[in-house]
A and B are shown apart, each in its own frame.
Chain A
């Protein structure tokens, strides 16, 4: 028995470099975290060893509680990037406030961009617009406008869509907003991080139990940790369009 454990341990240690450092739970959804378009500004920033990132988001970009911010995916993204790009100085700022629509975030964008001067904006949106049934045309227009503002400020944009939330699926009609985000991303040729499909896969496979009523943060922390790690792989892969994303994806 002890011998077998030793063998297993040895195998894990040997395999570790190939898997980078993402836990298996995260890697299950790795195939879904593949960028369709390359980033333009981030490669330069990586060459200059200085990567500035602004995470613009609503309530699902943070977690409740005093330590919420520490466990939420933006902070996990920064740590994962720092580990995967040891020679690059990663500076990550967040502009995250709950209950904001895309249009409200666009209004806050110029100030946040001026303060952070990022080379990459990670923009999580869609859920609040769906909850408030914002006119889909206005939602698409706000997305396009925000992307233009970020591009004009010299930053790349990655869109992050809604969470998969099985309990509220009949209550929030995400469909149109998901499709609009996908379409705007294709039209503007920017990558979209498909958080919805990734979490749906975790839910379907039982990787994380997204159904249980709980007041504890444990599952939320694991989910955000994986989202942060996959997002880090996604950024790195999208910054190196020449290489297949699998190398950066740690798979």
Chain B
């Protein structure tokens, strides 16, 4: 049996989750030149992989301890409470989305775009649409991550139970589900057509792998992670992915890609979490933890504090990021979409996300203090972050 990791929270998790939240925000503003800096342009994987992996890691970290100390029922109840919070957050974002598109539908007409405006047709039958949204089947563009997170957490308790007892079995079960998904084309249907953009049967692998790493798996792997050969392979793979990514922007480089390589790698499937994407994420992770050790002094510096504080309030900051990306796009269409404005909107969004996260930290500290005598300090595992 694997013991839950008792040590204090690894600030690197908050750092990289915060970074992923910033990148998701930048990527979600359409036609944003600043999104050129985000990792999706330089390889196969993007911020979603980081977010899902770290979410799995922190979920196991927090609820693994709860399950260890208070048992299955209490831990499951807490997981479900968290799931409910995320569901409410998703519906809240959906309400904002509805407000935005209702505005677009009433204020914008252009015969050039009569076909595109058809995307608003569902406003004509809100009875069906809103119910389908509440069932998580109707998911507007860029609102696919939270439903994935909801489903993953909803099914997390039994998986956590198994992870605490026979961790390798849990990982094998997760990989088997991933394989079966590819074999049988499993996915959840969406409304009105199609399937989930982030297939939970596929993305669970990264979530469970994150959880497995949190519960001691990372230590078991450390011999591999820190091996120079593995690191060399990871760097070579990152270079390969970088070169392939460059051919997307400079098609003339495409002549250097042999046909069989192209046929082997394309299409790189995001919906079903292509194996190339997983490998790319793993390679990034291996190289990153080599250069960013757990006791990296910069982690406690003021320089990285804005990112870390965002990573410590991931749900709230994720929602803020989605909202701000809507707002940013609104500014582009209503005011200006010139480059200085794009930079201004991107920076302002990040400042607002950071300010909001700082406010949440302050608020949590005040609430913990509460009236009356000061309670003993909270347990380290719960400090400064949520699952």
Give A contacts to B, CB under 8 Å: 36, 58-60, 63-65, 68, 98-99, 127-128, 131-136, 140, 163, 165-173, 176, 179-180, 183, 186-187, 200, 204, 210-217, 219-220, 223-224
Task: Tell whether, in the assembled complex, residue B116 and residue A173 are in contact, meaning their CB atoms are under 8 Å apart.
Answer: no
Task: Tell whether, in the assembled complex, residue B116 and residue A172 are in contact, meaning their CB atoms are under 8 Å apart.
Answer: yes
Task: Tell whether, in the assembled complex, residue B115 and residue A99 are in contact, meaning their CB atoms are under 8 Å apart.
Answer: yes
Task: Tell whether, in the assembled complex, residue A36 and residue B251 are in contact, meaning their CB atoms are under 8 Å apart.
Answer: yes
22 A-B residue pairs with Cβ-Cβ distance under 8 Å, sorted by A, are: A58-B115, A60-B113, A63-B114, A135-B194, A165-B112, A165-B113, A168-B113, A168-B119, A169-B30, A171-B101, A171-B119, A172-B116, A173-B141, A179-B267, A180-B267, A183-B266, A210-B112, A213-B108, A213-B109, A216-B111, A220-B112, A224-B112
Chain B residues near A224: list those with CB within 8 A: 112
Contact of B356 with A by CB under 8 A: no
> Which parts of B76-122 form the interface with A (CB within 8 Å)?
100-101, 104, 107-120
Among B104, B190, B267, B325, chain A packs the most CB atoms within 10 A around the CB of B267
Chain B: minimal CB distance from A79 (Å): 19
Chain A residues near B337: list those with CB within 8 A: 166, 204
Q: Which A residue's beta carbon lies closest to that of B31?
A: A169
Chain A residues near B374: list those with CB within 8 A: none
CA distance A216 to B111 in the complex (A): 7
Chain A residues near B116: list those with CB within 8 A: 60, 127, 131, 163, 165, 167-168, 172
Among B119, B140, B197, chain A packs the most CB atoms within 10 A around the CB of B119
Chain B residues near A210: list those with CB within 8 A: 110, 112
Contact indicator per residue, chain B 28-58, by CB within 8 Å of chain A (1) or not (0): 0011000000000000000000000000000
A59 and B271 contact, Cβ closer than 8 Å, known pairs A133-B193, A169-B31, A170-B141 = no
CA distance A138 to B146 in the complex (A): 25
Give B contacts to A, CB under 8 Å: 30-31, 100-101, 104, 107-120, 140-142, 190, 192-195, 197, 251, 254, 262-263, 266-267, 269-271, 325-326, 329, 332-333, 337
Task: Tell whether, in the assembled complex, residue A99 and residue B118 are in contact, meaning their CB atoms are under 8 Å apart.
Answer: yes
Q: Which B residue's beta carbon lies closest to that of A219?
A: B112
Chain A residues near B269: list those with CB within 8 A: 136
Q: Which of B31, B109, B140, B194 contacts A132 (CB 8 A)?
A: B194
Chain B: minimal CB distance from A25 (Å): 15
Task: Tell whether, in the assembled complex, residue A220 and residue B193 are in contact, meaning their CB atoms are under 8 Å apart.
Answer: no
Chain A residues near B333: list those with CB within 8 A: 166-167, 211
CA distance A215 to B111 in the complex (A): 6
Chain A residues near B266: list those with CB within 8 A: 183, 187
A171 and B31 contact, Cβ closer than 8 Å, known pairs A98-B115, A132-B192, A183-B266 = no
Chain A residues near B117: list those with CB within 8 A: 168
9 nearest CB pairs, A to B:
A59-B115, A169-B30, A133-B194, A220-B112, A173-B141, A132-B193, A165-B116, A168-B116, A60-B115
Q: Which B residue's beta carbon lies closest to that of A131?
A: B119
Chain A residues near B110: list those with CB within 8 A: 167, 210, 212-214, 219-220
Q: Which A residue's beta carbon lies closest to that of B144?
A: A173
Chain A residues near B104: list those with CB within 8 A: 167-168, 171
CA distance A200 to B371 in the complex (A): 58
Q: Which of A65, A133, A170, A186 contacts B30 (CB 8 A)?
A: A170
Task: Tell whether, in the assembled complex, residue B193 and residue A127 are in contact, meaning their CB atoms are under 8 Å apart.
Answer: no
Q: Which A residue's beta carbon lies closest to that of B33?
A: A204
